[in-house]
Chain A
Amino acid sequence: MTRRFVCQLVFAALAGLTLLAAPAGARAAGPEAGPASTPVSGKERIVVMEWAGLETLLALGVTPVGAADAGGYREWVSTPALPEAVAEVGSRQEPNLEELARLKPDLILSHAHLRPLKGKLEAIAPVEDVTLNGTGTDTYEAVLEGTRRIGALTGKAQAAEALIDSADTAFEADASKLAAAGLAGRSIYFVRIIDGNALRVHGKGSVAGTVLSRLGLTNAYQGTVNEWGFATVEPSALAEDPKAAIVVAGPVRDDQMAAVFDTPLGRALPAVRAKAVHGLPVTWTFGGIPSAIHMADAIAAALTQRSAETGN
Chain B
Amino acid sequence: MRLGLFDPPEDVFAAVMFHYATLPRIVVSLVAGASLGLAGAAMQAVLRNPLASPTTLGVSAGAQFALALAALAGPAATVLPREAWSLCGALAATGLVYLIGRRTGFEPARLALAGMAITLFLSAASAALILFNEQQLAFLFLWGSGHLAQSDWTSATILIAAFVAALAALIAASRAIGLLAVGDQLAASVGLKTETARLAVLLLAVALTACVVTRIGVVGFVGLAIPAIVRLCRPRSVARSLLASAVLGGLALFAADALAQLSSELTGRLVPAGAVTALFGAPVLFVLLSRTRLPARPHQPAGHTDGRFHDAGLGLLAGLAATLVVVAAAALLIGRTGAGWELLAPSGDGALFLARLPRVAGALLAGAAIALSGLLVQKIVGNDLASPELLGISNGAAAGIVFSALVLGVLSRTALLLSGIVGALGATLVVLWFARRHRDQIAAVLLAGIALGVFLDSIIRIALATASMQAVALLTWLSGSSVLVSLPEVLGLGLLLAATVAVVLAFRRPVALIDLGAEVPQALGLKVRAVQTGMLALAALLASAATMVIGPLSFVGLLAPHLARALRARRLAVQVAATLLLGAIVMTLSDFVGRVAMAPWQVPGGLVAGLVGSLGFILLTSRRRVAGAGA
Contact = CB atoms under 8 A, between A and B. Distances in A.
Interface of A: 5, 8-9, 12-13, 15-16, 19-24, 26-27, 72, 75-76, 87-91, 93-99, 101-102, 112-117, 119-120, 123-124, 134-136, 194-198, 223-227, 231-236, 239, 242, 260, 263-270, 273
A8 B502 contact: yes
Interface stretch (B107-115, B135-143, B576-584): B135-143
Contacts of A231: 268-269
B269 A232 contact: yes
A116 B476 contact: yes
A307 B477 CA distance: 50
A134 B473 CA distance: 12
Given A23-B414, A114-B473, A264 B16 contact: yes
Give 9 closest A-B pairs by Cβ, nearest first: A224-B268, A12-B499, A268-B16, A265-B151, A23-B488, A197-B149, A195-B139, A263-B151, A24-B414
A120 B139 CA distance: 32
Given A9-B503, A232-B270, A93 B476 contact: yes
B550 to A, nearest CB: 14
A24 B413 contact: yes
Given A112-B473, A119-B486, A264-B16, 17 more contacts: A8-B506, A12-B500, A16-B499, A16-B500, A22-B492, A23-B414, A23-B491, A76-B135, A91-B132, A94-B481, A98-B355, A115-B473, A116-B473, A198-B142, A235-B149, A264-B20, A268-B17
A35 to B, nearest CB: 14
B184 interface: no
A242 B13 contact: yes
A94 B604 contact: yes
Contact of A12 (B20, B473, B502): B502
Contact of B469 (A93, A134, A197): A134
B507 interface: yes
A310 B485 CA distance: 60
B337 interface: yes
Interface stretch (B95-103, B314-322, B594-602): B594-602
Contact of B600 (A22, A89, A263): A89
Contacts of B83: none
Contact of A120 (B138, B469, B483, B496): B483
Interface of B: 8, 10-11, 13, 16-17, 19-21, 131-132, 134-135, 138-139, 142-143, 147, 149-153, 268-270, 335, 337-338, 351-352, 354-356, 412-415, 417-418, 468-470, 472-474, 476, 481, 483-484, 486, 488-489, 491-492, 495-496, 499-500, 502-503, 506-507, 541, 595, 599-602, 604
A13 B483 contact: no
A168 B605 CA distance: 46
26 contacts: A5-B507, A9-B503, A9-B506, A13-B499, A16-B541, A21-B414, A22-B491, A23-B488, A23-B489, A26-B486, A27-B412, A27-B413, A87-B338, A89-B600, A94-B481, A94-B483, A98-B337, A98-B356, A115-B474, A119-B486, A123-B354, A223-B268, A224-B268, A260-B151, A265-B21, A268-B13
Contacts of A119: 486
Contacts of A198: 139, 142-143, 147, 149, 270
A94 B476 contact: yes
A23 B602 contact: no
Interface centre among B143, B147, B470, B473 (most CB of A within 10 A): B473
B142 A194 contact: yes
B11 A26 contact: no
B519 to A, nearest CB: 23
Contacts of B138: 194
Contact of B470 (A91, A112, A195, A224): A112
A115 to B, nearest CB: 6
Which label, helix, strand, loop or mixed, suits the secondary structure of the B interface? helix
A113 B13 contact: no
Contacts of B354: 123
Nearest to A75: B135
A115 B472 CA distance: 11
Contacts of A114: 473
Given A26-B488, A232-B269, A99 B13 contact: no
Contacts of A90: 600-602
Nearest to B139: A195
A260 B486 CA distance: 47
A235 B473 CA distance: 30
A97 to B, nearest CB: 6
Given A9-B503, A91-B601, A20 B414 contact: yes
A269 B11 CA distance: 9
A15 B499 contact: yes
B468 A265 contact: no
Contacts of A115: 470, 473-474
A297 to B, nearest CB: 23
Contact of A27 (B17, B149, B486): B486
Contacts of A117: 476, 483-484
A96 B599 contact: yes
A226 B469 CA distance: 10
B473 A113 contact: yes
A18 B185 CA distance: 62
B151 A101 contact: no
A95 B351 CA distance: 17
A269 B470 CA distance: 38
Contact of A124 (B19, B153, B355, B418): B355
B483 A266 contact: no
Nearest to B541: A16
A183 B194 CA distance: 72
Contact of B417 (A20, A227, A273): A20
B492 A268 contact: no
Contacts of A94: 476, 481, 483, 602, 604
B391 to A, nearest CB: 23
Contacts of B488: 22-23, 26-27
A270 to B, nearest CB: 7
Given A88-B338, A136-B468, A234-B149, A99 B499 contact: no
Contacts of A88: 338, 600-601
Contacts of B468: 136, 227
A69 to B, nearest CB: 8
Contacts of A227: 468-469
B499 A268 contact: no
Interface centre among A24, A72, A112, A224 (most CB of B within 10 A): A24
Contact of A23 (B269, B470, B492): B492
Nearest to B494: A19
Nearest to A270: B13
A232 B149 CA distance: 12
Contacts of A239: 13, 17
Contacts of A273: 10-11
A223 B268 CA distance: 8
Nearest to B78: A255
B484 A120 contact: yes
Interface centre among A16, A72, A123, A233 (most CB of B within 10 A): A16
